[in-house]
Structure 1
């Protein structure tokens, strides 16, 4: 969950249900931490888990527990690059991948599902961006042979360096959004310039209602 996900959960009933019905929900954003603090919850920066920081540990854990991993994300070539990096760290990891730029319905979607099922992964990483990845999971989960579904957005793009995430001193201090806005302003301006203030307006509105 980051600020965008919180805004989607506020606006879309089905998305909110998806989050509330998940077995685990990770905090992936300093904005969510700050919002929780403003509402009186006892949270710390260590409660934040962002996928590019732990994906190699995930690969190592899958290797050690003999759990297979399928990466379904990114533009063509990104999943393959991520597999190369992961198998350098975890050489015995059972891993396959496919890009996320396919038709999410019809024949091409069926072919992708068949590919996943043939591999029979323990963990399926899905990275199409929100809310498309969650929508796709909801509509296909009953037909896919995977035990764990992880909707993790642009993690592979950051992990492989395909998209610049920003220097560590910024990402560790809640300023990653500034780098992303500077590098992709046309695509992300609404998410950050409108979405961030909207989220905190809703947080303050909730806080005021609790103080009545």
Structure 2
């Protein structure tokens, strides 16, 4: 079924529905799906994976059989700064099931404050790894967000690159819709009918994280990933930085140089405060290591489980990751 709201561009593409699934509790899958380690940063539980593929596999295992959707946020410097200004955004982050390390500066900070094995798991890379697993295991993918037509193009590109991938749900809600309004209800109804296994949500921060936090209960067993501009990348509308910038962690500089008019306020005003935070946290961690102070705001800690249902609190500061 296709609805057209903007000229002849498909706004919503809903493939054939399937029978309702009944979630079953799978504690072993939950245990296997836990990240190997976490890094506590400003009350946020950053999870550390061996690789992007490892992250995709573990996240899918974690989601299997859950009565609610599994929320996955990819944390970068901009998100960290937004948390200091918007309490609802911070609350959503603290309720998230999985928070990966997205930005290179954030990865460097976690390495300097106790987690040497920290690796980036970006929204684009995680989406690619999840799609590969979906093709292998016959899982259903949904793409939410992007300008009209881009989601359809992104889905077509995915199907071209992954010939065994099944039908892909696509919906580009109108610009400016509000969570809970009629447009949002239409979107959620389509997703509930389709019953996806993976939902890639590209509505921009903080909206995509708030949307996932609000609607995860309506999509049991699904993985919901806040993935920023991933649909733009998949559609070919926007290109990623050359490999040199990706490898050296300077992709943000490339994006700023190529899209200065749209990004300068975010990178040069709001996110510049991160460097002050960076210095304070690294110095605090160094002081703690030298036994002349303590650092409870940023430190690494290996995840330990006291039972199959709940991870134990961090031994350094008592912070307890979400179960």
Tell me if both proteins adopt one fold, taking TM over 0.5 as the criterion.
Answer: yes
Cα-to-partner distance string for 1:90-145 (whole Å, 9 max, x where unaligned): 22323111114342342221111111111111111111111011112223333345
Bigger Cα Rg:
2
Conservation of the 8 A alpha-carbon contact between 1:7 and 1:195: yes
Partner of residue 131, structure 1: 206
Distance 2:196 2:243 in 1: 32
More strand by share: 2
Partner of residue 101, structure 1: 174
Q: Unaligned regions of 5+ residues in structure 1, if any?
A: none
Q: Out of 251, 254, 275, which is 1:179 matched to?
A: 254
TM-score by length of 2: 0.60
Distance 1:157 1:81 in 2: 9
CA-based RMSD of the aligned residues comes to 2.1
TM-score by length of 1: 0.88
- Tell me, yes or no, if structure 1 residue 26 matches structure 2 residue 126: no
Shift of 1:43: 3.2
- Tell me, yes or no, if structure 1 residue 90 matches structure 2 residue 162: yes
More helix by share: 1
Shift of 1:23: 2.1
1:75 aligns to what SS in structure 2? coil
Distance 1:175 1:120 in 2: 38
2:143 aligns to what SS in structure 1? strand
1:153 aligns to what SS in structure 2? coil
Distance 2:93 2:252 in 1: 22
Q: Unaligned regions of 5+ residues in structure 2, if any?
A: 1-74, 288-292, 294-323
Written as runs of structure 1 = structure 2, the 5 A alignment for 1:148-187 is: 148-187=223-262
Shift of 1:150: 0.8
Q: Out of 188, 207, 211, which is 2:282 matched to?
A: 207
1:71 aligns to what SS in structure 2? strand
Cα-to-partner distance string for 1:24-61 (whole Å, 9 max, x where unaligned): 221111010122233243135xx112233343332121
Partner of residue 110, structure 2: 36
Question: How many corresponding residue pairs?
Answer: 210
Shift of 1:161: 2.3
Conservation of the 8 A alpha-carbon contact between 1:117 and 1:145: no
Conservation of the 8 A alpha-carbon contact between 2:138 and 2:165: yes
1:25 aligns to what SS in structure 2? strand
Shift of 1:209: 3.7
Conservation of the 8 A alpha-carbon contact between 2:84 and 2:90: yes
After alignment, is 170-179 or 136-145 more displaced?
Answer: 136-145
